[in-house]
Amino acid sequence: MPTSAAGRAGLAMLIQREPSPLRRGEKVPKADPSWQVRRMSASLRRAGLSVGLLDEDSTQGSPPPTANGQPTTTQPVIIAGMIVTARLTFSAAHRLHNPNRDAAWNRAMYDKCDNPNGHGHNYALEVSVKGTIDPETGMVIDLKRLKDIMRERVVDHVDHTNLNEDVGFLRGTIPTAENLARSFWRELAPAIPQGELYEIVLEETERNSVRYRGEDET
């Protein structure tokens, strides 16, 4: 269920009477508020599901009559969450080393990643936000705004740095991809203005990535 104010506002037009799905080739102005829902309805029908248009006045009493004068049957209402993703890249150096363990343990655990002078990666950070489509903008969140938040809260702090030494919010953290993703989540979650932070994917190399959905956050 949507929890944001924008999500609840979007809900105001979702329920009760099922719109006719958008037909192939049918022209409806995108400014028409039913356009998104009718388009979604067509997709959901193909998946065997349905979506409704909420008419606030019709949520009480008898269902409104259809075009042929018969009352509509109650349709299942599906509030479809939409997930949007922004991706940015940055470069940084790190050394994987646990100062609480001896040199032999660190070498055995991290191998070359424990080299004293560190090494670098070209990271890719993907941030996904989940929410409902704002009927006024047609968007869950403005992706330009989301990228600005990613830069302000994370990328500008870590790009071209030594992750072991230079980043305040990583101090005391072994900068594995797992720990980076969790720290990034904590920096980003309070700044997401619409929808909710859904997932972070951090690629350390083109072969290695971690995915975090905030399960451990309170």
Return residues touching Zn ion (CB under 5 A): 113
Nearer to Zn ion, 146 or 158 (CB): 158
Indicate the burial class of 145 (C-beta count within 10 angstroms; 0-12, 13-18, 19 or more): middle
In the complex, the smallest distance separating the C-beta of residue 175 from Zn ion, rounded to whole angstroms, is 8
In the complex, the smallest distance separating the C-beta of residue 174 from Zn ion, rounded to whole angstroms, is 11
Active site residue 113: yes
Residue type, 109: M
In the complex, the smallest distance separating the C-beta of residue 137 from Zn ion, rounded to whole angstroms, is 40
Residue type, 164: N
Nearer to Zn ion, 49 or 108 (CB): 108
How many residues would you count in the chain? 218
> Catalytic one among 152, 160, 165, 178?
160
Active site residue 121: no
d(CA 65, CA 35): 21
> Catalytic one among 94, 121, 203, 204?
204
Active site residue 56: no
Cβ(136)–Cβ(142) below 8 Å: no
Nearer to Zn ion, 13 or 113 (CB): 113
Residue 10: how many other CB atoms lie within 10 Å: 22
The beta-strand segments (E) located in 150-195 are: 161-162
In the complex, the smallest distance separating the C-beta of residue 160 from Zn ion, rounded to whole angstroms, is 15
Structure tokens at 173: 């953290």
Nearer to Zn ion, 45 or 211 (CB): 211
Residues marked active site are found at 113, 160, 204
